[in-house]
Amino acid sequence: MKLDGKQIIHSNRRNVWKQLNDPVVLQECIPGCKEFTGSVDEGFQAVVTQKIGPVKATFRSTISLSDIDPGNSYTIIGEGKGGAAGFARGSVRIALNDVPDGTELTYDADAKIGGKLAQLGSRLVRGVAKKLSAQFFKRFSELVENNQDGNNTS
């Protein structure tokens, strides 16, 4: 499954980059995220609970970053295991560019799912994935725009 999109964030690129790498900010932005720990250097671990159609599961995920171009872009590689519900794995390429209104964040994701999740049908899963992505970027934009100095105060 492929997803892509962009979001204009009314803040400078340095601040957006800093907050894209802040585990506290990310935990607050990821829908259903109960835990988010780790660092850019060592990787992150997350616990996320989601309901997709009739399937509700808690995913324990590992996340690493690669192809890091500080202040500009990176690739997120992740895998989440949800027990009997199945698994999700994939990668997301994130890039930042200066625009007159602040920073344009673009993303290009490729994900695979298995188990009960895969049995739900691609239309349902894709719809939920788009909705969760929109929620993440809306919340992320709000947090960054309200925290222009880059210090997490939420």
pLDDT tens, residue by residue, 83-124: 888 888 889 999 999 999 999 999 998 888 888 777 776 777
- Is residue 100 in a domain? yes
| DSSP category for residue 85 | G
Name the percent of the chain lying above pLDDT 90: 54
- Is residue 154 in a domain? no
From residue 23, alpha-carbon distances to 56, 91, 123 in Å are 24, 18, 31
Burial of 34: CB neighbours in 10 Å, binned 0-12, 13-18, 19+: exposed
Domain count along the chain? 1
44-58, 66-80, 97-111, 114-128, range with the lowest pLDDT: 114-128
**Higher-scoring residue by pLDDT: 151, 84:** 84
What pLDDT sits at residue 151?
52
**C-alpha of 28 from chain center:** 11
Give CA–CA dist 91/48, Å, rounded. Answer: 17
- Is residue 153 in a domain? no
pLDDT tens digits for range 78-91: 998 988 888 888 89
H/E stretch holding 59: strand 55-69
What pLDDT sits at residue 62?
94
Please give the structure tokens belonging to residue 1.
């499954």
What pLDDT sits at residue 121?
67
- Is residue 131 in a domain? yes
The predicted model scores a pTM of: 0.83
Give CA–CA dist 26/3, Å, rounded. Answer: 19
Strands 102-114 and 2-9: antiparallel
All residues at 6 or more sequence positions from 5 whose CB lies less than 8 Å from its CB, including other chains: 106, 107, 133, 137
- Is residue 56 in a domain? yes
- Containing structural domain, residue 59: 2-145
Please give the structure tokens belonging to residue 110.
């490729």
- Is residue 152 in a domain? no
Residue 44 CB neighbour total at 10 angstroms = 21
Give CA–CA dist 151/96, Å, rounded. Answer: 19
- Is residue 74 in a domain? yes
What CATH number should be reported for the domain holding residue 28? Answer: 3.30.530.20
Name the percent of the chain lying above pLDDT 70: 95
